[in-house]
Amino acid sequence: MTAVKATEVRPGLVVHLDTAVLRKLGGAETNAEVNGTHDRAVQGPHYFLVLEVGADRCTAAPLFSIQAPGSDQLAESGKSGLADKWIGDPTYTSRWQQWRIPLASIEAASADEESSSSDRRGYSGTEFTEVATLLSWQTRNRAGYRAV
């Protein structure tokens, strides 16, 4: 296992992040809905697809193995890197949940990343157009960004 360094973060990177660590470190935000006492933001260790990288943070979407209303399936042909739990397994992302993650938190939150720096999981879709389309959903999201 090799944690992901901030310098490795790029659109299309798939990284295993512990959301409890992100919450503890602070600065992360999500636009996942909160209905009453039910928070739809993913909890605990979770795979994320990086959609965009800025100067000090990235925007990423959690990945799921089960389809749900409002989710999109990633094309198998766009997957690369470590195959375990990735290549050959159906993978979905929700249109309704993105996270803004400080780049400074990536290494600590990815301590359980299974891939090595030479074999990171990635997703390119069709020349990154799918990643850009997934990112565009944040402007149509039902909820605004909030601290997690």
For the whole model, what pTM was predicted? 0.94
Q: Tens digits of per-residue pLDDT, 46-101? A: 999 999 999 999 999 999 999 998 899 999 999 999 999 999 999 999 888 999 99
Q: Which of 15, 19, 121 is nearest to 76 (CA)?
A: 121
In a domain, 83, yes or no: yes
Residue 127 has pLDDT above 80, yes or no: no
Helical residues (DSSP H) of the chain, grouped into ranges: 19-25, 103-109, 129-136
In a domain, 112, yes or no: yes
In a domain, 148, yes or no: no
In a domain, 1, yes or no: no
Query: Based on the structure, what is the number of domains in the chain?
Result: 1
Domain range for residue 22?
A: 6-143
Bridge partners, 146 (sequence order): 30
Alpha carbons 114 and 132: distance in angstroms, whole number: 26
In a domain, 16, yes or no: yes
Encoded amino acid at 136, one letter? S
Alpha carbons 145 and 148: distance in angstroms, whole number: 9
